[in-house]
């Protein structure tokens, strides 16, 4: 597919590069795929990449508008349509996965987001996800309150936390030294990862590297 100029769109997007970047559509799609897999396999919700999602959605709209101009008999139309469908699947699957986690861990996630705001660090949820999470969390709480109304004075709820010890497969994108292996005991065994190496490891040992993009889950 053609190299596309997304300079204007990329201005407020941070892709770990201080110079102005031009990413081709295939490169953006690859970035989306990586983040989709990370989200799919990590037990906790990751920092959102709505920047990529929005870029791609714009691309889809443009592509679809162009497709309308092509005649139905043009075989290229089919190929482009397929590509559009594939991108749309990628995006919706990514957002669905996030929503699933947001619902399951809503209370915990909202607390974490609050403290991120207080510390002035970047929030993980997008504004829209945050609103959804708040509405969802409140609707569950109200439902429970309504059930327990018969007996005031009892407050019993426990939070659902993601299991950060979940084992994940990962591929390293860089050489990383001294990852502390979390294996439930106090001994701190270390391992080094070479670029391109693949390992099975507890998510907790590597969550920071997943978030920073040094490794990705497979």
Partner 1 sequence: MLSTTSYQPNYFSIDDILATQERTPCKFLQNAPRMGKLNPSTDEKDLKAGTELELPLWLVLDASAGRQMIVAPELPKIYREAYREILKADATAVDLHKFNLYFYELGSYVKYFDRREDVHNILLHTFITRFRFIMDLANNADSDPTVQNRLDMLERRLFKSGHIARTKLNTWLLDSGAPLKAANMVTNHRKRKRVDDDLFA
Partner 2 sequence: MFAEKACNLIKELSRCEEVLPPYHTELVKEVCTEIKQLHEQNKEDGAIVANESSIAGYANALYPTLRIGSSAVKRNVRCLLAYHYNRLKTLRTMRWEFGSILPQDIKTNLSSDEIEWFTKYSRSFAKYMTSIGENGLNLCLDLRPPKSLYIEVKCLMDYGKFELSDGTILLLKKDSRHYLPRSECEELITQGVFQHIV
**Which chain residues interact with partner 1 by CB under 8 A?**
40-41, 43, 100-101, 104, 157-163, 165-167
Smallest distance, partner 2 to C-beta of residue 172, A:
26
85: Cβ contacts below 8 Å, ≥ 6 apart: none
Smallest distance, partner 1 to C-beta of residue 80, A:
20
Q: Which is nearer to partner 1, 139 or 157 (CB)?
A: 157
* Residue 131 near partner 2 by CB under 8 A: yes
Asked whether 182 and 165 are in contact (CB, 8 A), the reply is yes
Q: What tokens were used for 87?
A: 């991108």
Q: What tokens were used for 78?
A: 């089919």
Select from 5-13, 152-160, 162-170, 178-186 the region that touches partner 2 (CB under 8 A): 152-160
Q: What tokens were used for 133?
A: 């999470």
* Residue 62 near partner 2 by CB under 8 A: no
The residue count for binding partner 2 (CB under 8 A) is: 38
* Residue 66 near partner 2 by CB under 8 A: no
- In angstroms, the Cα distances linking 200 to 43, 166, 169, 217 are 15, 10, 4, 10
Asked whether 50 and 64 are in contact (CB, 8 A), the reply is no
The full DSSP string for 163-187 is: -TT-EEEEEESS-EEEEEP--SSS-
* Residue 146 near partner 2 by CB under 8 A: yes
**The dihedral formed by the CA atoms of 19, 39, 99 and 81, expressed in degrees to the nearest 10:** 70
Binding site for partner 2 (CB under 8 A): 53-54, 57-58, 61, 78, 81-82, 85-86, 88-89, 91-93, 95-96, 99, 103, 128-129, 131-132, 135-136, 139-140, 143-144, 146-148, 150-151, 153-154, 156-157
């Amino acid at each position: 597919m053609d190299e596309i100029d997304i300079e204007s769109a990329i201005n407020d997007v941070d892709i770990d590069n201080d110079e102005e970047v031009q990413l081709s559509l295939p490169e953006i799609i690859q970035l989306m795929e990586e983040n989709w897999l990370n989200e799919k396999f990590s037990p906790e919700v990751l920092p959102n990449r709505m920047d990529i999602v929005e870029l791609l959605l714009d691309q889809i709209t443009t592509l679809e508008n162009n497709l309308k101009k092509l005649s139905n008999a043009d075989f290229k139309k089919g190929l482009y349509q397929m590509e559009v469908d594939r991108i749309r699947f990628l995006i919706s699957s990514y957002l669905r996965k996030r929503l699933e986690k947001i619902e399951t861990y809503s209370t915990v996630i909202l607390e974490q987001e609050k403290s991120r705001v207080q510390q002035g660090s970047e929030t993980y949820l997008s504004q829209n996800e945050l609103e959804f999470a708040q509405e969802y969390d409140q609707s569950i709480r109200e439902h429970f309150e309504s059930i327990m109304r018969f007996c005031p004075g009892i407050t019993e709820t426990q939070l659902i936390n993601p299991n950060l010890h979940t084992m994940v497969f990962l591929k390293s994108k860089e050489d990383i030294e001294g990852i502390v292996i979390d294996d439930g005991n106090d001994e701190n065994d270390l391992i080094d990862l070479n670029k391109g190496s693949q390992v099975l490891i507890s998510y907790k040992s590597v969550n920071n590297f997943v978030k920073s993009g040094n490794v990705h889950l497979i």
